[in-house]
């Protein structure tokens, strides 16, 4: 019985279409060799397609839509509706770590966060769990 390592080496040579290093003898019968070749080539193609499909932009910034309104207009349109939701204590314009503009919604707890949309007119919405907001004592 051939070792697993030897069989794996033979399978790899099948996929490449090379002859065996063992003097032309293969450890796997010819019918199974063809199946292995087809299977390995298909797996390699799937891996290559998957890797290219998952490639991200190098600067990790979102591509802004051409017809997206200014973030100030979006805040003006949606802040009142967001503030009327139970558990929302504030809405403001912010920026992500990479500098892209965002809208931040301050909420009392994580249960409220689940009801907030993740995007408003193309701008990402970030959730900040702030708890209740109270005025400072002393009236400043």
Which pLDDT belongs to residue 83? 92
Which pLDDT belongs to residue 124? 93
Beta-carbon count within 10 A of 14 CB:
23
Q: Look up the pTM and report it.
A: 0.51
**Is 32's pLDDT higher than 80?**
no
Element (H, E) at 47: helix 30-53
The DSSP annotation for 7-33 comes to HHHHHHHHHHTPPPTTTT--SS-HHHH
Mean pLDDT confidence for 41-49? 66
Share the mean pLDDT of the chain.
Answer: 75
């Amino acid at each position: 019985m051939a070792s697993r390592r030897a069989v794996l080496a033979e399978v790899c040579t099948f996929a490449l279409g090379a002859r065996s290093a063992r003097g032309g003898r293969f450890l796997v019968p010819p019918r199974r060799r063809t199946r292995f070749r087809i299977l390995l080539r298909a797996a390699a193609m799937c891996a290559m397609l998957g890797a290219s499909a998952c490639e991200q932009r190098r600067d990790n910034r979102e591509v802004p839509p051409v017809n997206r309104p200014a973030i100030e207009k979006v805040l003006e349109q949606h802040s009142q509706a967001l503030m009327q939701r139970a558990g929302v204590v504030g809405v403001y314009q912010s920026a992500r770590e990479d500098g892209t503009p965002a809208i931040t919604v301050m909420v009392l707890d994580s249960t409220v966060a689940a009801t907030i949309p993740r995007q408003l007119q193309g701008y990402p919405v970030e959730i900040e769990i702030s708890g209740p907001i109270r005025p400072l004592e002393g009236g400043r």
